Amino acid sequence: MKNQESNKIILKASAGTGKTYRLSLEYIYNLLKNIDFKNIVVVTFTKKATAEIKERIFDFLYQVAFEKSKGIELKKNLKEIYNLSEDDFDKEKLQNIYFEMLKNKEDIRIYTIDSFTNRIFKQAIAPYFEISSFETLDSESSDFYEKIFKKIMDNENYYKKFEFLIEEVGEKKEIKNYVKIIEELVEFQKKYVIAKNFELKEEKKDNQKKVLEVFDFLTPLQEIYSEVKIFSEEKGKNISECFNDKLFEIFDQIKKQSENSSEKKIEIVVKNLEKILDSKIKNYYNGKFIRKKELTEILQELQKNFLDKFSKYILKNKVYPFHNKLKEFCEFLYDLVRREKISSKKFTHDDISIYTYEFIFDKNLKFIENNKFTQDFFEIIGGNIDTIMVDEFQDTSILQWKILKLIMDCAKNIICVGDEKQSIYGWRDGEKELFENLDEIVDGSKVETLKKSYRSYKAVIENVNKIYCDYDEKSNWNYEKVDYKAEDAEYQKGYFEFKINELESKKSPTEKRIFKNIIQMIENKEIKNLGKSCIIAGKNKYLSEIASELNAYNIPYTLKSNKSILEHSAVNPIYRLIKYFLYNNFQYLLEFLRSDLIGCLNSHVKYILENKNIIEIFMKNSKEEDFDLFLENFDFNFDFEKNKNENNENNENTKNINIERIEKREREKEKKKK
């Protein structure tokens, strides 16, 4: 058979419908089309799936090439699916391919998505970083983020870049909360690297018009006040009664300001932003008193006008500046993180995907021309790719897709297999819409559906169809029902029941009812074998609540939780202090001081950081007997004074650590030495 025109298929297949079988047939079909097995790439999502499909391909090829028992049915299916004739099967050629593949297994290109990206990174990007070998991590450790945070805190220039975030998020009790911000921003990089060229663009207007727009949202607020005031005077009511009781004070404060104090008025509005934008507040006026249709329409229009203009003000004066600062900090942070990872030669799978996508476009590497990979690139990663097959496509993240799409644009044949049902969960950062609309994204592709399940019983299939048909009605998703093996009596068996309870709130009594249902099912012997029964919950606290209920009824269980004694609120601060003494990492001391056990505020941390060198010198040079003196001289009882810089509104007290005593102690030691 000659190498025919390109073949691009989007295969929608539920679990048990024969995805691996069909992919293996696609592989054999490509060999029949005279495509070299070295130029066929198969991408799966697990090592188990990789081993399974490789084994299946060898088995199918052997059965067809040597005309074994299963080969007859395989040939029949190949003929039906791909419209082949007997002449298309060259037995001798297939046998030669089989032996060549056996001898050159290292040339068979079947990978997990992570190992495939890893290969591109190792061959194409790592040399650019001057790295010959590296370690791959499943995930980054918390110590890494703490190390990055410490670098930021230790460097004055770095800290200045981070300071705006501290001001934005406000007072945080524990250092780990700031470390968490760093972690979340680093996690966000896989989205940032795709969207980093996106810019928030302000409309270009003359300066005078800009100035007018800044204060423009005040006008409808003042008009609301005026309209309500006129109404209250006509009805002989106090104006405060005619306003929403939560908002009158704000309107009254604005009204009391002079005509020229627009900045003060804006300050009042911004300060009360949460109240004004509270979704529970439908109207700014009191609907019990103001019912006149004409007036309510005017007030609602003014309210809408205010919200429209105020949102533009927030966008211009809050969102744009914050976006620009955040973008600048992210660029700095990602550069710092990258340098740290290159230095340690340790990368997570996400890191590898990020740096592969980011640097593949580097003009110095010359891997991309006209938005397509060059021949140099393919030579580096192991040869051309004529056919690419992607299994479990619904789990493909946007970042992985960006890399795969570049390869697909160069391939003649594309086969993408996935299950739309699984795509709704977003596992591995998969995007439901990506697989759902893949036929529109991949030019010239056609959609096929595998409808019959060869694995599950009738009862299971019918209930799965019911669940997803209900989901279809709510989400406007065109779900296609799955069939079962009706001709096989064995598959008519089975039992399936599901109960869906929608919680009214986080502390809904419905949860208790669910626990009771589980216990009743156990007591009524509906759940017969406790050893083969499992309860899964989304959070450790839910498991603890369920365990408590089981204890109350003396039902035996084994609880598996990720909790550690070191996470206990009373233990963790001491653990951090011990780590500080052990590793001399100032980060751990800060975490100890910021814990609930000690409760230092931002002002304390800042003061300690400013005197960090003095503390470290003392700790480094002190002996055991000095430590007792240190405790005596160090004012752990704190001096209390009114906090003038932080939480002034709540009149909270702050505690100033007396560092001067440490300085005095150091000076005395120096005198003794002299």
Name the domain boundary from 563, 581, 596. Answer: 563
Q: Answer yes or no: is 194 within a domain.
A: no
Which of the two residues, 560 and 448, has the higher pLDDT score?
A: 448
Query: How many domains are contained in the chain?
Result: 4
Is there a single domain that holds both residue 215 and residue 310? Answer: yes
Is there a single domain that holds both residue 552 and residue 441? Answer: no
H or E segment at 8? strand 8-13
Is there a single domain that holds both residue 531 and residue 635? Answer: no
Please check the confidence at residue 252 and state whether its pLDDT lies above 70: yes
pLDDT above 70 covers a percentage of the chain that reads: 75
pLDDT value for 643? 39
Q: Answer yes or no: is 152 within a domain.
A: no
Please check the confidence at residue 294 and state whether its pLDDT lies above 80: no
Give the model confidence (pLDDT) of 629-662 as tens digits: 555 554 444 443 433 344 444 333 333 334 454 4
pLDDT value for 101? 97
Give the model confidence (pLDDT) of 137-186 as tens digits: 988 988 899 999 999 988 889 988 888 887 777 655 567 888 899 999 99
Name the domain boundary from 519, 536, 563. Answer: 563
Q: Answer yes or no: is 328 within a domain.
A: no
Give 313's pLDDT tier (boundaries 50, 70, 90): confident
Q: 110, 118, 111: which is closest to 138 by C-alpha?
A: 118
Asked if residue 604 lies in contact with residue 659, where contact means CB atoms within 8 angstroms, the answer is no
Is there a single domain that holds both residue 261 and residue 372? Answer: no
pLDDT value for 250? 77
Which of the two residues, 205 and 665, has the higher pLDDT score?
A: 665
Q: Answer yes or no: is 138 within a domain.
A: no
pLDDT value for 225? 78
Please check the confidence at residue 318 and state whether its pLDDT lies above 90: no
Give 565's pLDDT tier (boundaries 50, 70, 90): low
Is there a single domain that holds both residue 61 and residue 83? Answer: yes
Give 579's pLDDT tier (boundaries 50, 70, 90): confident
Q: Answer yes or no: is 356 within a domain.
A: yes
Mean pLDDT over 315-343 rounds to 91
Mean pLDDT over 285-312 rounds to 75
Which of the two residues, 603 and 97, has the higher pLDDT score?
A: 97
pLDDT value for 497? 67
| β partners of residue 653 | 642
The model's pTM is 0.66
The domain containing residue 32 runs over which residues? 8-127+351-450
Give the model confidence (pLDDT) of 38-85 as tens digits: 999 999 988 889 999 999 999 999 999 999 999 999 999 999 999 999
pLDDT value for 657? 38
- DSSP string over 25-45: HHHHHHHHTT--GGGEEEEES
Give 468's pLDDT tier (boundaries 50, 70, 90): confident
Q: 274, 272, 254: which is closest to 264 by C-alpha?
A: 254
For β-strands 413-418 and 346-348, DSSP reports them as: unpaired
Mean pLDDT over 252-278 rounds to 76
Which backbone phi and psi does 431 adopt, to 5 degrees? Answer: -115, 120
Give the model confidence (pLDDT) of 367-414 as tens digits: 999 889 999 999 999 999 999 999 989 888 888 999 999 999 999 999
Is there a single domain that holds both residue 591 and residue 650? Answer: yes
Instruction: Work out the number of other CB atoms within 10 angstroms of the CB of residue 3.
Output: 12
Q: Where are the alpha helices (DSSP H) in 437-560?
A: 438-441, 458-475, 509-523, 540-552
Give the model confidence (pLDDT) of 478-489 as tens digits: 778 888 876 666
Give 239's pLDDT tier (boundaries 50, 70, 90): confident
Is there a single domain that holds both residue 13 and residue 108? Answer: yes
pLDDT value for 529? 77
Name the domain boundary from 450, 470, 501. Answer: 450
Torsion of CA 96, 101, 102, 103, to 10 degrees: 90
Q: 303, 271, 309: which is closest to 287 by C-alpha?
A: 303
Is there a single domain that holds both residue 555 and residue 650? Answer: no
pLDDT value for 650? 38
315: its two tokens: 């966008």
Q: Answer yes or no: is 590 within a domain.
A: yes
pLDDT value for 489? 60
Asked if residue 642 lies in contact with residue 653, where contact means CB atoms within 8 angstroms, the answer is yes
Which of the two residues, 170 and 262, has the higher pLDDT score?
A: 262
Instruction: Work out the number of other CB atoms within 10 angstroms of the CB of residue 198.
Output: 9
Give the model confidence (pLDDT) of 494-517 as tens digits: 566 666 665 555 555 555 666 777
Is there a single domain that holds both residue 437 and residue 423? Answer: yes
Mean pLDDT over 602-612 rounds to 76
561: its two tokens: 């939780």
Is there a single domain that holds both residue 437 and residue 377? Answer: yes
Q: Dmax of the chain from CA atoms?
A: 103
Is there a single domain that holds both residue 581 and residue 555? Answer: no
Binding residues for ATP are 13-20
Is there a single domain that holds both residue 603 and residue 647? Answer: yes
- DSSP string over 76-145: HHHHHHHT--GGG--HHHHHHHHHHHHHTGGG-EEEEHHHHHHHHIIIIIGGGGT-S--EEESS--HHHH
Q: Answer yes or no: is 227 within a domain.
A: yes
Binding residues are 13-20
Mean pLDDT over 335-357 rounds to 95
Task: Say how far apart CA 462 and CA 465 lie, in whole Å.
Answer: 5
Asked if residue 179 lies in contact with residue 142, where contact means CB atoms within 8 angstroms, the answer is yes
Q: Answer yes or no: is 132 within a domain.
A: no
Task: Say how far apart CA 629 and CA 174 lie, in whole Å.
Answer: 28
Contacts of 241 (CB under 8 A, 6+ apart): 232, 286, 289
